[in-house]
Structure 1
Amino acid sequence: MDRRSALATLALGALAAACSGRGGTDDDGGRETRVEIIRYGDDPSQRAELTRPSGSSKGVVVVIHGGFWRDQYDLSLGRPLATSLVAEGWTAYNVEYRRVGNGGGWPETFDDVAAAIDRLAEVDGVDTAKVVTLGHSAGGHLAVWAAGRARLTDERWTSPAVPVTAAVSQAGVLDLAAAIAADLGSGAVQRFMGGTVDDRYAEADPAALVPLGVPVRCVHGTDDTTVPLSQSTGYVERATAAGADATLTEVEGDHFVVIDPASRAWAQTLEILDAL
């Protein structure tokens, strides 16, 4: 079984828990954690899974899955992380969005991520004082983009109802122009954006939005051959040169180690979240 298949098996286990309405109980056998489906639009992909911890919450972590923005990958990839986050005392918000092949791309995917996060303002009992976006691969791109909405010029995105207070990129695609040059995902960026670099990229590319006014933490495997480590090193160098609070944690492993809840890389990510 390859790593992607193993992670899919973990996701199926998390899905079974979600379908039963159960995510686990606290250490004292207290109330069960339950998954709430939050709709933020009419499209079937415009939904998110909200899971609250059994006790007080450290804050909200918005989980944004990867897959080069393609529709064959979905939020099931984020379920194992959401389960772990809730066990650690976080409120997990696992977001689905329209992707390339089911109505996504520019600008629809961006609309969805913004709307999904803003929808939290209307959910009873959710404290949005601390909202951290956490994304893997293409989801890392969207996580950092969402944290930089105040840097945009398009008015539909620049006044978030729920501001992001920090972002964690897990092997994220953080420089779209460089990703095109390296042909990451065999043309994935061009299909996502509907063309090569033009004026729209100033609104879409995290590398073009530095410096952000919130911390950005990058976690990246040193053996990643899907999204090279240079995507994170280059972003952090550019961001810090512009005066931003951005760091890189290099971890042992490949592209998927960062979303394996049994890995040391994930344990380090939990430590990073606690420090934000």
Structure 2
Amino acid sequence: MQLSTPATGERIAYGTDSLQFGVLRLPEGKGPFPVVVLIHGGCWLAQYNYSYMNHASAALTKAGFATWNMEFRRVGNPGGGWPGTFLDVAQGVDFVRELAKRYPVNAKEVVLMGHSAGGHLALWAASRKSLPRHSPLYTRNPLKSKGVVSLAGIPDLKAYALAPGSCNQAVPQLLAGMPDQVPDRYAQASTVGVLPMRLPVKLVQGVKDPIVPVSQAQTLAQHSSHRNYLVKTVLLPNAGHFDLVAPTSPVWPTIEQAVKDLLVNP
């Protein structure tokens, strides 16, 4: 039996921890609706949560997409960091299959959208099929997505960890070490060089972003230059870091179009 969901969204647990939940919003109509999974940023740290993505979630729902705005354990939460943050994201993304059993959503029409550190996690979630079985991050049968919209994402954790900046300093906290101390963890957590071929990816980046440099998107795009990669960098000249998740921002139509390109006009 499929249930209706209030326009404000319904909080649904995907695990047993208090932080393992998401907010599901459904557009008007019967469905089944394509799904945008939203993964928030905040430097992977506990002091930043899912709530700032609610406006983007509501705007995408108004545009006709079901949205699953996920929360997960982060650095500073019990069980967060390595490997808990990654395992929560994997579990939350895969939970879309369970949502499809109870709500009018299509688990075969899913786009992952993440902002900043969440952009990294969205790219990682779409790349985790390549993880070896012995990896602490390995999960069976990952949900297939139609693509990824990475908003100021951080795919190259090694380069980011070695650069100055307060958010940069969170990477060693996430992985419990610098690149030379835990190289295997950086290899398993970064997405440069392991992004699946033929997976449509939109790397949306504000040129005036003071937190995540354009080089992050450019590095991933350069490593994905083979003709079988479907990676596109979208540079927004006048945009900063948070413009990309603000529906009132002049660049929001570009963000919405990126989703439509993957779910409506593949």
Q: TM bucket by the smaller chain?
A: 0.7 to 0.9
For 1:82-121, what aligned pairs fall within 5 Å after superposition? 82-103=57-78, 104-121=80-97
Deviations 1:45-87 (A, max 9, x none): 1000011111235510000000000001001011001100100
Distance in 1 separating the partners of 2:226 and 2:157: 19
Question: Which secondary structure state, in structure 2, belongs to the residue aligned with residue 130 of structure 1?
Answer: strand
Which of 209, 212, 236 is the matching residue for 1:224? 209
Task: Write out aligned runs for 1:29-108 (5 A).
Answer: 33-55=7-29, 56=31, 58-103=33-78, 104-108=80-84
Whether 1:271 and 2:266 are equivalent positions in the alignment is no
SS at 1:167 equivalent: strand
Q: Answer yes or no: is the 8 Å Cα contact 2:210–2:240 preserved in 1.
A: yes
* Aligned residue type for 1:232: A
User: 1:187, 1:43 → 2: CA distance?
Assistant: 26
Count of residues in Structure 1 that have an aligned counterpart in Structure 2: 247
Alignment correspondent of 1:247: 232
* Contact 1:34/1:52 (8 A) holds in 2: no
Distance 2:138 2:28 in 1: 33
**Equivalent residue letter for 1:229:** V
CA contact 1:75–1:94 (8 Å) conserved in 2: yes
Matched residues in 2 for 1:268 and 1:154: separation?
38
The amino acid across from 1:172 in the alignment is G
The 8 Å contact of residues 65 and 139 in structure 1, kept in 2 or not, is answered as yes
Counterpart check, 1:189 vs 2:175 = no
Which one has the bigger helix percentage?
A: 1
TM-aligned CA deviation for residue 220 of structure 1: 0.5
The 1:268/1:187 distance shift into structure 2, 3 A limit, reads same
Matched residue type, 1:264: P
TM-score by length of 1: 0.84
266-275 or 155-164, which moves further after superposition? 155-164
Please state if 1:170 is matched with 2:170: no
Kindly provide the amino acid, as one letter, of the partner of residue 222 in structure 2.
Answer: E
CA deviations 1:232-263 (Å, max 9, x no partner) are 11111111247411001111211111111111
Shift of 1:111: 0.4
Higher relative contact order (CA 8 A, sep 6+): 2
The 5 Å alignment of 1:112-191 reads 112-123=88-99, 124-125=102-103, 126-154=105-133, 157-184=138-165, 185-191=167-173
State the one-letter code of the partner of 1:194: A
- CA distance in 2 between partners of 1:212 and 1:102 (Å): 34
Q: Give 1:202 deviation, angstroms.
A: 1.8
Establish whether residue 238 from structure 1 lines up as the match of residue 223 from structure 2.
Answer: yes
Matched AA of 2:96: L
Structure 2 letter corresponding to 1:141: H
Partner SS state of residue 108, structure 2: coil
